[in-house]
Amino acid sequence: DTGVSQNPRHKITKRGQNVTFRCDPISEHNRLYWYRQTLGQGPEFLTYFQNEAQLEKSRLLSDRFSAERPKGSFSTLEIQRTEQGDSAMYLCASTPGGGVETQYFGPGTRLLVL
């Protein structure tokens, strides 16, 4: 499968625990985006990378959230000290850049914080 992949697909954790999600974009896509989606809402932008550089972060991204893309390929999103309000679907998307703006989404990681 050459599409965007995300792992794990589901995560159940207890409040206060840390979780980390991984996104593998389409090969050679230099832009990678993270979104959060809750029921009945569209995806909400969290952060975006061009290659390994994190270029923009949403105000939604509290200091408990951190994202990395160390080699400009896969990316990780970590949530520290999870709260029940963090329960959501976390989507990753990549675009090739260079004027092609179509977002190719991954299947998402569904997080449930108990």
Partner 1 sequence: GENVEQHPSTLSVQEGDSAVIKCTYSDSASNYFPWYKQELGKRPQLIIDIRSNVGEKKDQRIAVTLNKTAKHFSLHITETQPEDSAVYFCAASKGGSYIPTFGRGTSLIVHP
Q: For binding to partner 1 (CB under 8 A), which residues are involved?
A: 4, 33, 40-45, 48, 55-56, 91, 95, 101-103, 105-108
State the minimum distance, in angstroms, from the CB of residue 12 to partner 1. 17
* Gyration radius of the chain over CA positions: 13
For partner 1, the closer CB: 74 or 105? 105
CA 61 to chain CA mean position, Å: 11
Whose Cβ is closer to partner 1: residue 25's or residue 106's?
106
Q: 3-state class of 60 per DSSP? A: coil
Give the shortest CB-31-to-partner 1 separation in angstroms.
8
CB of 68 to partner 1, least distance (A): 18
Instruction: Answer for the pair 87, 111: CB distance below 8 angstroms, yes or no.
Output: yes
Confirm if 66 and 18 have CB atoms less than 8 A apart: no
DSSP track, 75-106: EEEEESS--GGG-EEEEEEEE-BTTB---EE-
Residue nearer to partner 1 on the CB measure, 82 or 87: 87
CB nearer to partner 1: give 70 or 99: 99
Give the nearest distance from C-beta 13 to partner 1 in angstroms: 21
